[in-house]
Amino acid sequence: MKLINYINFRKLLEPPYIDSIEWSKWHVFWLDERVVPKDHEDSNYKLANDGFLSKVPILPGNVYAINDKLSAEGAADDYEACLKNLVNRNVIALSEASGFPKFDLMLLGMGPDGHVASLFPGHPLLKENEKWVSFIKDSPKPPPERITFTFPVINSSTYIALVITGAGEAGAVQTALGKSQNSVKLPVQMVSPEGKLT
């Protein structure tokens, strides 16, 4: 596993990138999302939209936010149905190896406890192997209600960029790299894409 510096999407807003990227081919999804309104300060959609999506010509129909009017369970089911529809329309491919959707690129962060997406240490969702998208109502990190891709979907990816910054994550990074006496397996250690991990 190679750790990389923070991917600065703002660079894509500058020449020569802004004018050379085929934005019409981009489809944007959320690996996990807090079940809050899209304009709420805790919304990953708001963060992405304010800082990046509103500044590039990605087709609005190619940005797939969760339905924030639904419960956590309803939002997860709705998002999975959306993914299945996109697979049926050949927008997203299926992995031949796993049968789960195969995304070209996933950007993953990690929390101080080693969680990725909304997959937290010791949580039963770590073992989910049938659903594409699931929900959590008892997140140890607020807000408590979220939706998340499951590990079979995450690990079907062609490419995963695992972006970790901050001193608070150092202990989990040491554990993930096997440089710690901690014998507990962290969720970040379960990231193992079919393709490449950086």
Where are the chain's structural domains?
9-197
Q: What is the pTM of this model?
A: 0.91
Ranges of residues in the chain with a pLDDT under 50 are 1-7
pLDDT (0 to 100) of residue 181 = 72
pLDDT (0 to 100) of residue 5 = 34
pLDDT (0 to 100) of residue 12 = 87
DSSP secondary structure, the chain, as one string: ---BPPP-GGGGGSTTHHHHS-GGG--B--SEEESS-TTSTT-HHHHHHHHTGGGS---GGGB----TTS-HHHHHHHHHHHHHHHHHTTSSEEPTTTSSEE-S-EEE---TTS-BTTB-TT-GGGG--S-SEEEES--SSSSS-EEEE-HHHHTT-SEEEEB--SGGGHHHHHHHTT-SS--SPPGGGG---SSEE-
pLDDT (0 to 100) of residue 8 = 59
> What class does CATH assign to 9-197?
alpha beta
pLDDT (0 to 100) of residue 76 = 98
pLDDT (0 to 100) of residue 72 = 98
pLDDT (0 to 100) of residue 182 = 67
